[in-house]
Amino acid sequence: MWILGKQILHLSKIQSRWTLHLSGTPFKSIAKGRFGEDQIYHWSYADEQRSKQTWDPHSESENPYESLPELNMFYLSNVTYDY
């Protein structure tokens, strides 16, 4: 746990305008089988961006995804910590 705490401390120093915090509760419930397949709805950031780009400009309604910000995702690999 101490190492995890230090990793979180290092990650908390990353400068950003927004941070998305996810609760582990629904993921634990899904993993434990508390929901049936018909009770689970998946909608990802990729789905949102695809809908934003493919919205029919001739649609009678406005694109509800138009004003949503672009999210940049980064993956840290081979990160070493000097403890």
What are the DSSP calls for 11-68, one per residue?
A: HTTS--S------SHHHHHHHTT-S-GGG-----HHHHHHHHHH--TT-SS--TTTTS
Q: How confident is the model at residue 25 (pLDDT cuts 50, 70, 90)?
A: low
Instruction: Give one word for 37, left, alpha or beta, with left for phi > 0 and alpha for psi -120 to 50.
Output: alpha
For residue 49 the two structure tokens come to 């961006």
| Mean of pLDDT values over 6-22 | 65
Instruction: Confirm if 30 and 40 have CB atoms less than 8 A apart.
Output: yes
pLDDT for 7: 57
pLDDT digits (tens, 9 = 90+) for 38-74: 877 778 888 888 999 899 999 989 999 888 887 777 7
**pTM greater than 0.85:** no
